[in-house]
Amino acid sequence: MELRDYLNVIRARRGVIILATAIVASVALVVSLIQPSIYEAEAKVLISEKDTGAALLGTVIPELSSQPERALQTQVQLVEVRPVAEASIKQLNLEMTADDLLADVTVASVGQTNIVSIKAQADSPEQAAEIANSMAEQYVEASRARKRASIKEAADEVEQRLEQARAEILALGRRLQASGRSDELAAELQIATGTYTTLAEQLEQLRINERLESGSGTVVQPAVVNTDPVEPQPLRNTALGLLVGLVFGVGMAFLYDYLDSTIKSTEEAEKVYGAPVLGIVPLERMEKGQKRRLTIVESPGSSAAEAYRVLRNSIDFVNFEHDLKTLLVTSGTPSEGKSTVSANLAASLAQAGKKVVLLSCDFRRPTTHQFFDVNNMIGLSDVLIGTHTLKSALQQPGDERLLVLTAGKMPPNPSELLSSSKMKDVLDSLSEWADWVIIDTPPILAVADPVSVARWVDGVLLVSKAGESTREAAEKTVELLGKVGARIVGVAVWGLDESKAKPGYGYGYGYYTGGYYYQNSYYGYGVGAKPKAGGSSADAASAPELEWVQPTTPARQFAKFLGRVLTFVLGFLVVAAVALTIAYFMDQYFGWGVYEVVQPWIPF
């Protein structure tokens, strides 16, 4: 696909894209409007860590260890431990668990500094500030407690060693008194006394440090009350919904286009059928009670009649070697306009001065006689069976250059009759007199009759209904014709809705539709145009009528309407389900709490 093809898909499926975008954006906006306000407050703590033992020895130590990033992240994690959260809950008398509180608190280091930011969210700005300050204070208090416990443990150890030194001094004194003066004992006593003095000084210093210890952090910026809510943000959420909906809508459009197997453009039709598109007939509208109409005769000034003339000229151009006299007109599936095209093509060729025979081979659903108002009592079946001669079965509807051979009565073995040598003899006899023999047959994928006749004709004209014929049916049709060696000379696209035609897409055959619009303008008539005031009755009679469409039964109309309704409902449900899923994950990610609010009303 080229860039133009992608743009055509987006333009043709713009309704799906707009619907998906609108639904997702609306859901995001509604969620934002019903979401309770969330407020945030921030406290900042300066982290510092000194080795008390090193300080007692007089060694200069940096504020943090040799790995400051690791040490700082350790302190960040210590802020989010359960004991700190539980202490804050107890201090503020909050009715929540430690996990719930920690879910509303965000702790992170600020840039390349030793400052830690503690952000708390709550339903009110005052509570958010209280939680942030309490978490900061409880962290500092917990850090102070840990430091003091460490110092106290060291002091207890020093105190034990001090007691040992005192006991040793007393023992040396008793020995010295008992043995008299001894230089050796005097030296040991002096060492023990020095050790005792040092330990006593260390113990005193540890006691002082224990009382002065402030912990690893200091609150440098207490949280203040901020009355501006951080959530919801309708503008941001709606913009995000528009973006997500647009992406989802475009994806749905391309998925829908991928699943749509109808032939959407002339280029695609030519590729699938392996033959050029010779003409495009616009959609036609019938009058009430009218079953068939010969447009080329009854509405010669209409755009449809002009389209049949274009088709006639295209076929003449294809037949530049004059090797094409018998032309089979068929389609892949029913209701694609083959009988309408064959009847109007035959009448158009006759108007151009050609001698034409229109032969109907559709025994099951004959319609040729309805176009020309002739009798179907005697027809091709009687000729093939031998009950009537070919000359007696031919009828002249009015134009002396046009003869019609209707299908006649339904024979018991239509496929066998059409594939017999008698059928070939009929075609040969008609070809001797006529310049063109146009053969109307049933759909190829419905019965085997068209394939039986295809072996005797010079060429095949396939009819494809705009926007409805599928690639699968077209490929199967070409395959069946190829098995009998039939020559496909071209494709006629029938039933193009000009109001929906897009250049190269939509109903897809718009590349050729411009001629029809220009034709209306040339004759001075548009779709639904009225004759000018003062115009003659002849002008009014020759004016093209409204574009017309083949009638359908009420049952088919209801089925089509029901299908459209179900398609819309299912599409809406799919888009709504995706939108709700996106909203749920957004709610979980941003912590809006909407799901908890609406959960009591969810029946499952």
Q: Are 240 and 234 in contact (CB under 8 A)?
A: no
- Share of residues in the chain with pLDDT > 90 (%): 35
* Residue 463 backbone phi and psi in degrees, to 5: -110, 130
Average pLDDT over every residue of 115-132: 92
Average pLDDT over every residue of 586-595: 70
Q: What is the largest CA-CA distance in the chain?
A: 165
Provide the pLDDT for residue 599. 63
Does the pLDDT value for residue 552 go beyond 80? no
Q: Which of 65-74, 347-356, 416-425, 506-515 has the lowest mean pLDDT?
A: 506-515
Q: H or E segment at 384?
A: helix 380-385
Q: H or E segment at 507?
A: none
Provide the pLDDT for residue 279. 93
* Residue 499 backbone phi and psi in degrees, to 5: -70, -20
Q: Are 13 and 256 in contact (CB under 8 A)?
A: yes
**What is the band of 311 on the pLDDT scale with cuts at 50, 70, 90?**
very high
- One-letter amino acid for residue 417 of the chain: L
Helix (H, G, I), strand (E, B) or coil at 229: coil
Does the pLDDT value for residue 306 go beyond 50? yes
Provide the pLDDT for residue 60. 42
* Residue 13 backbone phi and psi in degrees, to 5: -105, 25
For the stretch 375-397, pLDDT in tens is 999 999 999 999 999 999 999 99
Provide the pLDDT for residue 356. 96
The residue among 169 and 484 whose pLDDT is bigger is 484
**What is the band of 548 on the pLDDT scale with cuts at 50, 70, 90?**
very low
Average pLDDT over every residue of 8-30: 84
- What is the CATH architecture of 262-551? 3-Layer(aba) Sandwich (3.40)
The residue among 352 and 289 whose pLDDT is bigger is 352
d(CA 211, CA 44): 25
For the stretch 179-216, pLDDT in tens is 766 777 778 878 888 888 888 888 888 788 777 776 77
The one-character DSSP state at 111 is T
Provide the pLDDT for residue 504. 45
* Residue 58 backbone phi and psi in degrees, to 5: 85, 15
The Cα-based distances of 528 to 292, 524, 531, 549, 561 in angstroms read 21, 12, 10, 14, 25
**CB-based burial label for 158 (10 Å; 0-12, 13-18, 19+):** buried
Helix (H, G, I), strand (E, B) or coil at 105: strand
- One-letter amino acid for residue 122 of the chain: A
d(CA 330, CA 342): 8
* Closest among 357, 516, 326, 360 to 449, alpha carbons compared: 360
Provide the pLDDT for residue 500. 56
Does the pLDDT value for residue 544 go beyond 60? no
d(CA 296, CA 344): 6
Q: Which of 235-244, 257-266, 411-420, 566-575 has the lowest mean pLDDT?
A: 566-575
* Closest among 103, 172, 206 to 588, alpha carbons compared: 103
The one-character DSSP state at 601 is G
* Closest among 264, 255, 438, 259 to 339, alpha carbons compared: 438
Does the pLDDT value for residue 520 go beyond 50? no
- Share of residues in the chain with pLDDT > 70 (%): 80
d(CA 348, CA 343): 9
The residue among 577 and 454 whose pLDDT is bigger is 454
* Closest among 48, 52, 76 to 63, alpha carbons compared: 48
Provide the pLDDT for residue 381. 92
The residue among 571 and 316 whose pLDDT is bigger is 316
d(CA 145, CA 152): 10
The mean of the pLDDT values for the chain is 80
C-alpha dihedral over 557, 562, 568, 570, to 10 degrees?
A: -150
**What is the band of 85 on the pLDDT scale with cuts at 50, 70, 90?**
very high
The residue among 290 and 30 whose pLDDT is bigger is 30
Average pLDDT over every residue of 560-578: 69
Provide the pLDDT for residue 183. 74
Does the pLDDT value for residue 570 go beyond 70? no
Average pLDDT over every residue of 316-329: 91
Q: Which of 166-180, 225-239, 462-476 has the lowest mean pLDDT?
A: 166-180
Does the pLDDT value for residue 344 go beyond 60? yes
Q: What angle do CA 392, 397, 401 make, to 5 degrees?
A: 90
Where in the chain are the domains? 1-35+231-260+554-604, 37-221, 262-551
CB atoms within 10 A of CB 90: 11
For the stretch 58-77, pLDDT in tens is 444 444 455 667 888 888 88
For the stretch 396-443, pLDDT in tens is 998 889 999 999 998 888 888 898 999 999 999 999 999 999 999 999
Assigned token pair, 359 = 């032969």
Q: Which of 117-126, 150-159, 376-385, 582-591 has the lowest mean pLDDT?
A: 582-591
Q: Which residues contact 144 (CB under 8 A, 6 or more apart)?
A: 213, 214, 215
In the block, residue with structure tokens 């395959």: 479
Fold assignment, 37-221:
Bacterial polysaccharide co-polymerase-like (3.30.1890)
Q: H or E segment at 492?
A: strand 488-496
The residue among 433 and 577 whose pLDDT is bigger is 433
The one-character DSSP state at 395 is B
The residue among 572 and 473 whose pLDDT is bigger is 473
Q: Which residues contact 367 (CB under 8 A, 6 or more apart)?
A: 292, 339, 360
d(CA 590, CA 54): 46
Return left, alpha or beta for 506; rule: phi > 0 is left, psi -120 to 50 is alpha, else beta.
left
d(CA 492, CA 311): 7
The residue among 471 and 150 whose pLDDT is bigger is 471
Number of H helices, E strands in the chain: 24, 13
List, in sequence order, every residue forming a beta bridge with 439; answer none if it has no partner.
328, 359
**What is the band of 117 on the pLDDT scale with cuts at 50, 70, 90?**
very high
Q: Are 422 and 384 in contact (CB under 8 A)?
A: yes
Q: Tell me what percent of the chain is helix, strand and coil, each rounded to the nearest 5.
A: 55, 15, 30
d(CA 361, CA 427): 12
Does the pLDDT value for residue 503 go beyond 60? no
For the stretch 94-109, pLDDT in tens is 989 999 999 999 999 8
In the block, residue with structure tokens 């079965």: 393
DSSP string, 61-86: --SS-S-HHHHHHHHHHHHTSHHHHH
Helix (H, G, I), strand (E, B) or coil at 326: strand
pTM for this model (two decimals): 0.57
**What is the band of 492 on the pLDDT scale with cuts at 50, 70, 90?**
very high
For the stretch 250-273, pLDDT in tens is 888 888 888 888 888 888 899 999
Assigned token pair, 251 = 């994806």
Provide the pLDDT for residue 10. 83
d(CA 291, CA 373): 12
The Cα-based distances of 559 to 337, 351, 552, 565, 566 in angstroms read 20, 40, 11, 10, 10
Provide the pLDDT for residue 3. 76
**CB-based burial label for 594 (10 Å; 0-12, 13-18, 19+):** buried
